[in-house]
Each structure stands twice: as C-alpha cells, then as structure tokens.
Amino acid sequence: MELYHNQVTRAQGSFSLRMFHRSWGIMLIQANISAPCTVLDFPTRKDFAHELTSHQYDIVGISSIIINVGKVREMCRMVRKLSPHSAIVVGGHVAAIPGIEKLIDADHIVRGEGVSWMRRYLGEDEGAPIRHPAIVSGLHTRIMGIRLPERKGATAATIIPSVGCPMGCNFCTTSAFFGGKGKFVNFFESGDELFEVMQQMENELKVHSFFVMDENFLLHRDRAMRLLERMKAAQKSWTMSVFASANAIRKYTMQELVELGVSWLWMGLESPRAGYTKLNGTDTRQLTRELREHGIRVQGSTIIGLEHHTPDNMISEIEHAVSHNTDFHQFMLYTPVPGTPLYQQMTEEGRMLRDIDYADIHGQFKFNFKHAALSRDDSKRFLDWAFWRDFEMNGPSLYRISRTLLTGWKRYKDWPDARVRERFAREMHRLSGIYSSALWAMEHQFRKVNRDVSEQIRVLRAEFKQESGVISRAIPAILGPVLLWTTQREERRLALGKTYEPPTILERRNWVGA
Ligand code: B12
Ligand code: SF4
C-alpha cells in the first residue's frame, strides 16, 4: 500500500519515501450514500470476521484492483460463511478480469464508476451532487529510519475531481476502466466547484496543500484557470500536487503553474520513441529542467519493454530517462492489463502468457506477455537496473526535492504576488533546518554510492545554510548525526527483511440509530 516505495523510490534503501494511502474509492462511495455504512480499510482476516459477525450487514462491498483478486475470493468466502444473508458487491479494477464471475463468489460485479452504481442500487438519487470526503493523503510517513509525527494540517488533503482520462493511451487501465478514449467521469465540472471543495477541505483538515487525484488535471484548462481566478480573489496560497501529460502542461506558462500552486507534477515520459499523442513534439528533458527551475518537483514515469525495445537499445533508453534528472522517477513494465486496448491486441495476437498469477501483474516484476525481443527475465533485470541507475546517478530523491525547493525559493522569495511568496516561504522556513540536517546525513551516507553526487549534496547544503535563519542553521550540527545513525539503523533493519504494514482503519457513517 505504498506508492513511492513500491514503484518509485524502491532502490533508494533507507532514503526511500514511505507512506500508506487510504482506499479513496470506498471512502467516496461511503460519503455519498445515506445508508448506514462502515468502511473497513486494510482489515486483517480477524478484523474482517469480527466486523461481519458483530453487525448485520445487508450489503458487503469489496474494493480491489486486479492483483488482489485472491484476497477478494477469500473475503467472499468469509462473507458467505459468516454473514450468509449479505449481498456481496465487488467493484474497482478487479472487475475488468475476464471471467471474474467464475473466479469469485459475488452477487454483483461493478465495472466503472461506483458512486452512481451504489446510489442506484440503494434506490437513492444517482445524480445528486458529489459530497467530497475529508481525506488525508498519506499516513505513517517514514524516511531515513524515522516515522514523521502526524500533525493536523501537515499532510496534504486528497481531492478527487474526476476518474478516467480521455487521452486513452493503449496500456492505460484507468482510462479504459472509465470508458476509454474521449471519456471520463467528472465529479466537479467547474473551477468554482473545485474551489468550494478545496476550501471546505482547508477548513476541515486545516491544510494548505492538496494532492489532486485526477489522471490529467491540467488537461482541463478552463477549470484550472477559473480555479486560479478564485484562488487569487480569495488570497489562497495553496500548494498542489497534480498528474498531467506533457501536452497538457504545455497549455500553461510557468507563471500560471506557479500561481496555481503546482509544486509537484507527475508526468509520463514513457520513451522518446513512443508515439503517444500526449508527448507529441515535446522535448521532455527541456520541459523537466524548466519546471524544476521554477521550483516544481517533477516525477517522471518511464516504460520498460515497449515494442521497439531490444537488449541493444534498452540501456540507452534507460540512460535517456535517467538524464532527465527528475526529482522522482517511476519505471514500469509495459503491461497488457485486462480491459485495455493493449490487452485486447495481445490476446488477438496470441501473445499473452498463460499461467501468470494475477498477483504478479503489476508492472514491477516480470512481463505477462511475449515480447518480440526481451525475455521475462530480461524485463526484470532491466527494470531493476533502471531504478538503481537513477538512484546512483541522481542521488536520493530527498536531496533532489530539496534542491528544487531551494531553486524555487530563490526565484520566488521576492515575487510580487504575496500568495506565491508565502507558499515558498512556508515550505522553506518549515523545512530548511530539517533538509539541511538530512543533507548532512545523505552527504555522508551516499559517499559509498557515488562520490560526485555526495559532493553535490555538500554544495547544496552550503547553499541551504546561507539561505536559512539562525536557528535553522544550528539544527544540522545536532540533527545531522542523529539522522545518519537512524539511516544506518534502518539499512540494517531492511537487510534483515523488515516490512511495514498499514494500520486497520474503521469509519462509520449515518450510524446513529442503525
Ligand atoms: C491511489 C492509488 C494507489 C494507492 C493505493 C491506495 C489504496 N489504499 O488502495 C497506492 C499508491 C498505495 C497504490 C498501489 C498500487 N497500485 Co495503485 N493506484 C492508485 C490510483 C493512482 C488512484 C486510485 C484512486 O483512489 N482513484 C480514485 C477513486 C475514486 O477511484 P477508484 O479507486 O477507481 O474507485 C472508483 C471505481 O473503481 C469504483 N469502485 C472502487 N471500489 C469499489 C467498490 C465497490 C463495492 C463498488 C461498487 C465500486 C468500487 O467506484 C469508485 C468511484 O467511482 C490508481 C489510478 C487511478 N487514477 O485510479 C492506481 C491503480 C489503481 N493502481 C494500480 C496498481 C497496479 C497498483 C500497484 C500494484 C502498483 C505496484 N506495482 O505496486 C499497487 C498495489 C497496492 C495493493 N497492494 O493493492 C493500477 C491497477 C491496475 C488494475 N487494472 O488493477 C491503477 C489503476 C494504476 C494504473 N493505471 O495502472 N495505488
Ligand atoms: S495520458 Fe496518462 S492517464 Fe491519460 S490515458 Fe495516457 S497514460 Fe492514461
């Protein structure tokens, strides 16, 4: 249940950014029905059994993606045994598995958007406005061997403006699941609606920072620009983390992005030779550099095992990806996932491999199809190497994000728009002492991996010192060695096979009188 550690910073050892994320789909459904409802997130088998036997549930809804189909099967079995009168409804991406009806024992399998389905099923108004739940984007954050304290307002709120993406890239399961090319489901159509939701979350969760869970937020320019107008009028100095394709980013000037508060941007780089419309004519290295020069942290995403990849060109493609020097870099195997056009094509060409466990189809292990030039083992070798190479050449992501922050701060600390100044100052003042300390520890620990990068970290640390206040300047002398110690302790723990699990969370709604 970890984004970064599973698929982004997985080669970064104790520097890997670790945190868990709630299951937003079921939180959204719960917030939008009037029936009494419990969300049980990350239950152990014991928790699930206890909940099933402590209350009489008419309906048990189970959310899952494809890899977890084995768990869904077991949960259905438990419901039938422990709560035999309950109807079982299974939703989420797992529903795209061909023949799912035969793999699990459920009464309803729901494909696509779930709020309207559940409202319809319960006899409620499916067209009623969407009520956004208050979602803290991550929990149990951990880095360099330390679990960060969870203060109200310190972690971004998740905002879900829509599901799906109209770009319809052939491999993209999220796009396919919500209708494919040209289609998506908008929960909040206008910038005004979005502004209201964000303001409400600001009040409820005391946040200034938002993780916007929309596959291609910047594609909808009118909505984003109206949001900006409202933010300016209300003097909101908000920070936003968004997903966007290169063609969508190009619709904005850097100034507009900075004023909107975009501080982290996930962009698909895929491959320089891939023919995806979203990349048409964009020099992604230049774009990445430009974004970072404006203090925007870039998370790149590159695909390993596209059709044109061979053992001869794979290394140079990975080197090209690494040369973007993004703050974070995800590498994913080209993976035909049920429901996508790519899966359809591979099936028709007889190239899907049989007997691959669904639990292994997640793009971080080995191919699930027959590639023209790369074997399954090659796919894993190249994938693992890509992560390692990015880490070795560019250093820990924590170092890279502090570098981007400092660049942004220097550029915008005296900017005329107070909202922009305030945003950079907020991050800089809150974090400069911590970053300097972490940089001290990184500089020491990274020497054994790459001396050049360790030297670059030292230079950045000196710059931080110059820009920081007196107190922040004093912190590294004490905190730096402590972080070095916790980092080394974490390395030892991880080497012994330590793993982390999310806590079980139970939330009831409309429960009074139930
Ligand atoms: C947040 C997220 C995560 C979080 C998970 C949080 C969590 N606790 O589940 C993190 C970062 C940890 C994560 C991890 C992984 N993820 Co992920 N993740 C996402 C992401 C970006 C957003 C999901 C989301 O919340 N969307 C918003 C909500 C509202 O949409 P939704 O979940 O689809 O729910 C709607 C419907 O599906 C439906 N619905 C959902 N559940 C139910 C239940 C019922 C009963 C009903 C009726 C309806 C219903 O109704 C909801 C409202 O419309 C999606 C991509 C995306 N944009 O959707 C990928 C995605 C779901 N992840 C994916 C994958 C592959 C993974 C990993 C395997 C990656 C990896 N290699 O490690 C791991 C697996 C983790 C695990 N063990 O389960 C794939 C799933 C592919 C597939 N077809 O199954 C997706 C689609 C990304 C992609 N395009 O490839 N992920
Ligand atoms: S642009 Fe991104 S989210 Fe949209 S279809 Fe392509 S891969 Fe999927």
Residues 100-114 have pLDDT tens digits of 999 999 999 999 999
Closest residue by Cα to atom 46, ligand 1, is: 91
Q: What's the mean pLDDT in 262-276? A: 87
CA-nearest of 280, 402, 266 to 329 is: 266
CA-nearest of 261, 263, 132, 138 to 204 is: 132
Q: Which atom of ligand 2 is nearest to the CA of 174?
A: 8
Query: Residues lining ligand 1, CB < 6 A?
Result: 1-3, 6-7, 21-26, 28, 61-63, 65-68, 89, 91-93, 96, 110, 113-115, 117-118, 160, 163, 172-174, 213, 215, 337, 362-364
- Could you read off the pLDDT of 309-333 as tens digits, one per residue? 999 999 999 999 999 999 999 999 9
Backbone φ and ψ of 35, nearest 5°: -70, 150
Q: How confident is the model at residue 513 (pLDDT cuts 50, 70, 90)?
A: low
Question: Does any ligand 2 atom lie closer than 6 A to the CB of residue 169?
Answer: yes
Give the span between the Cα atoms of 221 and 191, in whole angstroms.
10
CA-nearest of 365, 387, 360, 362 to 377 is: 365
Global pTM reads 0.95
Q: What pLDDT does 153 receive?
A: 80
Contacts of 278 (CB under 8 A, 6+ apart): 167, 169, 245, 246, 247, 248, 268
Determine the number of helices (DSSP H) and then strands (DSSP E) in the chain.
Answer: 19, 16
3-state helix, strand, coil in the chain (%, to 5): 50, 15, 35
Q: Which atom of ligand 2 is nearest to the CA of 276?
A: 6
Question: Does any ligand 2 atom lie closer than 6 A to the CB of residue 163?
Answer: no
- Could you read off the pLDDT of 194-234 as tens digits, one per residue? 999 999 999 999 999 999 999 889 999 999 999 999 999 99
Are 401 and 263 in contact, with CB atoms under 8 Å apart? no
Ligand 2 centroid vs 257 CA: distance in angstroms? 20
Q: What pLDDT does 477 receive?
A: 77
Question: Does any ligand 2 atom lie closer than 6 A to the CB of residue 267?
Answer: no
Question: Does any ligand 2 atom lie closer than 6 A to the CB of residue 162?
Answer: no
Query: Which ligand is closest to the CA of 244, given by its number?
Result: 2
Are 246 and 284 in contact, with CB atoms under 8 Å apart? yes
Query: Which ligand is closest to the CA of 214, given by its number?
Result: 1
Query: Which ligand is closest to the CA of 268, given by its number?
Result: 2
Q: What pLDDT does 452 receive?
A: 97
DSSP E strands, 130-260: 139-143, 146-147, 157-159, 162-163, 185-186, 209-212, 239-243
Ligand 2 centroid vs 267 CA: distance in angstroms? 10
Q: Would you give the DSSP letter of residue 217?
A: G
Q: Which atom of ligand 1 is nearest to the CA of 172?
A: 89
Strands 37-41, 505-509: pairing is antiparallel
- Could you read off the pLDDT of 449-478 as tens digits, one per residue? 999 999 999 999 999 888 877 666 777 778
Question: Does any ligand 2 atom lie closer than 6 A to the CB of residue 268?
Answer: yes
Q: What pLDDT does 235 receive?
A: 97
Are 176 and 341 in contact, with CB atoms under 8 Å apart? yes
Ligand 1 centroid vs 65 CA: distance in angstroms? 6
Strands 59-63, 87-91: pairing is parallel
Question: Does any ligand 2 atom lie closer than 6 A to the CB of residue 164?
Answer: no
Give the span between the Cα atoms of 498 and 258, in whole angstroms.
40
